[in-house]
Amino acid sequence: HTSLAIADAVAGIKKPVVEIHLSNIFQREDFRQISFIAPSCEGSISGFGMGSYKLGLEYFMKKLE
């Protein structure tokens, strides 16, 4: 999330993107609270451990309904 190269790649994706983090980045160091990919994402899920991936999948499954 702090990589400009990844931010450029995500910005070029024409499909919806959700940013997922295992830990809550907003409770970590200041530099980890900045996301360069967030402006190109529909949303962000963080702080639920491995459950963050499950929530991300559930989000996209709901979009398919």
Q: What is the structure's pLDDT at 14?
A: 92
List pLDDT tens digits, range 11-57.
999 999 999 999 999 999 998 888 999 999 999 999 999 999 999 99
pLDDT of amino acid 63: 87
Instruction: Take residue 41 and report the two structure tokens written for it.
Output: 């994402």
pTM: 0.80
**Sign of the CA dihedral with 4 first, then 7, 9, and 12 last:** negative
**Residue 59, pLDDT score:** 95
Res 1 pLDDT > 80: no
